[in-house]
Homo-oligomer: A and B are copies of this chain.
């Protein structure tokens, strides 16, 4: 088994990603919801067909694509048609199979429609650029965490191939979802994330209201979206695994 598929390695990556996600969401939560940046035409960008956030996200992905970001097996872009890398290709091999899985469209829709209103004060403070830069970091962090489900699924598959093969052959989505789910592990995850968010959302000698995110928002986001989406990716991956 590839070292990155060992349970301890996966756990360590996922646990560290929790910090990245919490920090990114806390940065976004400084600003109001600023719904105008998510609507095509809301804040028109001359010559670009999409929202203000789309413009910044696309531009960031186009830049990162030139330095090979999306050739890495743990990075998935929100846009297609990005420029080719200008750095020479390197093939470090991949511990997971190549699939066409990419659920970023769903992640982005939920992020804009549900997560932003969930963590930000309603209204408009005109901090469009700062909000969108924080959005890009948040979306990239959540996307990476969710698509890491492919590493999780590959690891689970290799540890118990005999249990998975019949479910995959039968195309049994529900059976696969049950097989990869572990309620006790998930509850520990939600509790850990809640504890982290409570720690990071503390007011440390700052004026009141400096941290505006409710500490329980992050564990709710994990429970409602991140974990279910990760399972979607795991099941999709397993169905293509044989």
Q: Is A202 engaged at the interface, CB distance under 8 Å to the other chain? A: yes
* Contact-residue bracket for chain A: 35 or more
Binds B, one of A61-69, A162-170, A227-235: A61-69
Point out the residue from B27, B68, B196, B207 that lies within 8 Å of A12, measured CB to CB.
B207
Which B residues are in CB contact (< 8 Å) with A192? Answer: 204-205
Provide the main secondary structure of the chain A interface: helix
Q: How far is the CB of A238 from chain B (nearest CB, A)?
A: 26
Please, which residue of chain B has its CB at the minimum distance from the CB of A205? B192
Contact B199 A195 (CB under 8 A): no
Q: How far is the CA of A132 from the CA of B64 in the complex (A)?
A: 10
Instruction: Tell me if B60 and A67 are in contact (CB < 8 A).
Output: no
B206 with A15: CB separation less than 8 A: yes
**Are B67 and A55 interface neighbours, CB within 8 A?**
yes
Contact between chains at A56 and B47 (CB < 8 Å): no
Q: Nearest chain B CB to A53's CB is how many angstroms away? A: 11
For this complex, 10 residue pairs linking A to B, each with C-beta atoms less than 8 Å apart, are A20-B27, A23-B26, A23-B27, A56-B64, A63-B63, A68-B129, A192-B204, A196-B204, A199-B200, A199-B202
A-B pairs, 7 with minimum CB distance: A23-B23, A59-B63, A15-B206, A192-B205, A196-B204, A12-B207, A16-B210
A residues engaging B (CB < 8 A)? 8, 11-12, 15-16, 19-20, 23, 26-27, 30, 43, 45-47, 52, 55-56, 59-60, 63-64, 66-69, 72, 86-87, 128-129, 132-133, 137, 192, 195-196, 199-200, 202, 204-207, 210-211
